[in-house]
Amino acid sequence: MRKPVIGITCNTVLAEGTMLPGMVRAFASTDYIHAVAKAGGVPLLLPPVADPAIARSQVIAIDGLIMSGGPDVDPLLYGEEPLEKLGVVNLCRDEYELLVVKAAAELKKPMLGICRGIQIINVAYGGTLYQDVSQITGCSIKHFQTTAQREALWHTVSIEPQSVLATILGQQAIRVNSYHHQAIKNLAPGFIVTAGSKDGVIEAIELQNEHFVLGVQWHPEMLAEKSPSMLALFEKLVKAAATQI
């Protein structure tokens, strides 16, 4: 039997300074690729496309899905005007990823959202975001870490004891890395919050009574090489994806 194929959504960037100027490239960080392979899956990069039928065909071709990290989600997609602290947005990627999440929801493909991934999943299912964590009353923790090593742990997270996440991690309090300045505001229907930081920022969500859909606000792919509990998130996705074969 073949191994489960895990699609990883790509970002796009105008890559200057190469031999061919003006080229737009689709890419994903190799940390996602390595984490999926280490967890027993087959990593497959999914480049953004505009055609909904092609996006849907991409989702049909995979067994599980990682919505990867990246730039801010365009606030117009959840009914807000852009505020001063909004960062870079990539509307082509936003529109593509909304197609992908909706196709994955319909086809019941297991899905893991990471950082921007938890946010776009929440928006695709009908939720909203804070454009910057400074909008959150009581938000006192620095959520964009400033460490010399990207794999360094930063703030603590409390996990709901009865959650799927607690089962995966085997712990109810962990330290995570943190590279985000946006966060979930209104939770999408059907989801529950299963982890939060001490200042009340939502750090993980799960879809209830459905196939496996879980989002985390931190970056487990950067930690999976050395941390068995962070690798376990990818192993859970691969295991859920195996049921699709």
Q: Considering the complex, state which of residue 96 and residue 154 has its C-beta at the smaller distance from Mn ion.
A: 154
| Contact in structure between 162 and 113 (CB atoms under 8 Å) | no
Q: At closest approach, how far in Å is the CB of 220 from Mn ion? A: 13
**Tokens of residue 225, six digits:** 């090489």
**Would you count residue 219 as binding Mn ion (CB under 5 A)?**
no
Q: At closest approach, how far in Å is the CB of 212 from Mn ion? A: 22
Single out the segment in contact with Mn ion by CB under 5 A; choices: 35-43, 81-89, 123-131, 173-181: 173-181
Among 90, 131, 178, 182, binds Mn ion (CB under 5 A): 178
**Quick check: is 115 catalytic?**
yes
Q: At closest approach, how far in Å is the CB of 20 from Mn ion? A: 38
Partners of 173 in beta bridges: 158
User: Cα–Cα distance between 228 and 4 in angstroms, integer?
Assistant: 20
Q: Considering the complex, state which of residue 89 and residue 153 has its C-beta at the smaller distance from Mn ion.
A: 153
Q: How many CB atoms lie within 10 A of CB 78?
A: 19
Partners of 204 in beta bridges: 195, 216
**Quick check: is 221 catalytic?**
yes
DSSP code at position 143: -
Q: At closest approach, how far in Å is the CB of 69 from Mn ion? A: 12
**Would you count residue 11 as binding Mn ion (CB under 5 A)?**
no
List 143, 155, 180, 219, catalytic entry: 219
Angle at 232 between CA 174 and CA 56, to 5 degrees: 115
Closest residue to Mn ion using C-beta atoms: 178
**Quick check: is 219 catalytic?**
yes
**Binding string to Mn ion for residues 111 to 130, with x set by CB under 5 A, is what?**
--------------------
233 contact partners, CB below 8 Å, separation of at least 6: 112, 168, 169, 214, 216, 220, 224
**Would you count residue 145 as binding Mn ion (CB under 5 A)?**
no
Q: At closest approach, how far in Å is the CB of 130 from Mn ion? A: 12
Chain residues that interact with Mn ion, rule: CB under 5 A: 143, 178
Catalytic residues: 115, 219, 221
